[in-house]
Amino acid sequence: MQFIYSGITSGSIFALVALGFNIIYNTTGIINFAQGEFVMIGGMLIYTLLSIYGIPLFMAVPVALLLALIIGILFDKIFIKLVKVPNEINLITVTIAAATIIRGLAMVIWGRNTLNVSGYIPYSVISFPGGSLTSNSLLVIAVSLLTAFSLSLFFKKSSLGKAFRACYNDKMAASICGVDVGHIRMLAFGIAAFLGVVAGIVTAPITYVTYTDGVMVGLKGFAAAILGGLGNFWGGVAGGLLLGIFEGFFASILPSGYKDAFAFLIILFVLFLRPMGLFGKKKAERL
């Protein structure tokens, strides 16, 4: 049973990263390979604010989130907007380049060492039937799900959120109706970075922060988004949780060396059976 609890913990992080992927995918049609780097930056920012500048937590978190929005917007302005021929493959590669730059800068700024962020709430172990979770893990799950819910509310209720959804459905139509698509895309990167930084902040006490962390978490988030069906909001969340549980499950029943192979094998099988992911809709092909 333990694998379910630990799976949900890591899965909720994958879910947040997958949401970041989905938001950018829906507004630009590309996969942002730097999404994982946002998570790493989140950890680094909170470390800097808390441990180096000694800012109290209730101030540090909003500052980090604000910085996240700025980073996301700059990301769009510097990398995405400038691309001369913004076709899919160029945009994807530019995000790979951006990820390399961010990782390189993080190494220069924060060094190669793993950094430790102390827990935000007192450490305790909470027992569940057949396993246990730490208070920090519970915080991760709670914050992730809360973030996902508030984001879905934002998309459903606010007018800005509605403009976002209009962009998902039809960019041309949205721009005709007065939605500034460029503006929305910029905000999409802002929100994606925001989500990444939230993930980075909540996980930092459990997983520590190293400048190379972004690669794996990005990859897993991508896998989660695909598993759930690219562009599908709750699909991303479900994909993340499922991936986390798969990983824990395989680690607990198989020789653990093979666990990653089996997690990916499951994703492959899902794709073979449902080429658009578990909850993805087949796009009507315009013939």
Partner 1 sequence: MKKLLLIGMLLIFATGSSFAEYRLGALFSTTGPASFLGMPEKQTLEMLVEKTNKNGGINGEKIELFMYDTRGVDAEARKKFIRLVKRDNVNAVIGPTRSGSTLAIKDLAEKFQVPLLSCASSDKIINPLNKYVFKVAPSDKHAVRKIYFYLKTKGMENIAILTAQNGFGDSGRDALLSEAEKMGLNIVADEKFRDNDRDMTSQLTKISERNPDAVICWGVGPAPAIVAKNFKQLQIEAELIMSHGVASKKFIELAGDAAEGIILPAGRLLVAEKLPDSSKFKSMLVDYKNEYESTFGESVSTFGGHAYDAFMIIKKALLTAGKDKEKLIKSMEEITDYIGTYGIFNFSKKDHNGLDKDAFILIEIRNGDWELLES
Partner 2 sequence: MKKINYLFLFTILLILVLTKLLIKNEYYLSIVIFGLFNAINASCFNILLGYTGIISLGQGAFYGIGAYCAVITAASYGISPSIAILMASFFSGILAFVVGYPTLRLHGHYLAMATLGFGMIIYVFMNEMAFLTGGPSGFLDINKFTLLGMSIYGESEFYIFVASMFFVFVVMFELFDKSFLAYKLKFIKESEFASKSFGINIFRTKLLTFSLVAAITAFNGGVYAYYAGFISPVSFNFHYSIQLLTMAIVGGVGSVSGGIVGAAILTALPEFMTAIEDYEMVLYGLFLAVTIIFLPEGLSGLFKKIVGKNASN
Place of tokens 């920012």: 45
**168 contact, one of partner 1, partner 2, none, CB 5-8 Å limit per kind:** none
What minimum distance in Å lies between the beta carbon of 10 and partner 1? 5
Rule CB under 8 A: say whether 5 interacts with partner 1: yes
Binding-site string for partner 1 from residue 116 to residue 145, where x marks contact by CB under 8 A and - marks none: x-x----x-x-----xxxx-----------
**CA gyration radius, the chain:** 19
C-beta of 106 vs 148, nearer to partner 2: 106
Among 52, 66, 97, 121, binds partner 2 (CB under 8 A): 97
Binding-site string for partner 1 from residue 238 to residue 277, where x marks contact by CB under 8 A and - marks none: ---------xxx-xx--xxx-xx-----------------
What minimum distance in Å lies between the beta carbon of 257 and partner 1? 4
C-beta of 91 vs 166, nearer to partner 2: 91
What minimum distance in Å lies between the beta carbon of 139 and partner 1? 14
Place of tokens 């800005």: 160
The CA distance from 193 to 176, in Å, is: 28
Going from the C-alpha of 62 to that of each of 4, 68, 199, the distances in angstroms are 31, 10, 14
Q: How many other CB atoms are found less than 10 A from the CB of residue 220?
A: 23
Going from the C-alpha of 171 to that of each of 37, 92, 95, 159, the distances in angstroms are 28, 19, 21, 16
Per-residue tokens: 23:
């938001």
Rule CB under 8 A: say whether 142 interacts with partner 2: no
The CA distance from 149 to 259, in Å, is: 30
The CA distance from 2 to 45, in Å, is: 31
**3 contact, one of partner 1, partner 2, none, CB 5-8 Å limit per kind:** partner 1
Per-residue tokens: 69:
């929005």
Among 19, 31, 49, 50, binds partner 2 (CB under 8 A): 31
Place of tokens 């400038």: 82
CA atoms within 13 A on the CB side of 204: 32
**222 contact, one of partner 1, partner 2, none, CB 5-8 Å limit per kind:** partner 2
Rule CB under 8 A: say whether 133 interacts with partner 2: no
Among 108, 126, 153, 173, binds partner 2 (CB under 8 A): 108
Alpha carbon 194 to its chain's center: 9
Sign of the CA dihedral with 36 first, then 38, 41, and 47 last: negative
Buried b or exposed e, range 178-209, using 16+ CB within 10 angstroms: ebebeebbbbbbbbbbbbbbbbbbbbbbbbeb
Q: Which residues bind partner 1 (CB under 8 A)?
A: 2-3, 5-7, 9-10, 107, 112-114, 116, 118, 123, 125, 131-134, 203, 206-208, 210, 212-213, 215-216, 247-249, 251-252, 255-257, 259-260
Q: Which residues bind partner 2 (CB under 8 A)?
A: 25, 31, 79, 82-85, 87-90, 93-94, 96-105, 107-108, 219, 222-223, 226, 230, 255, 257-258, 260-261, 264-265, 267-268, 271-272, 275-277, 285, 287
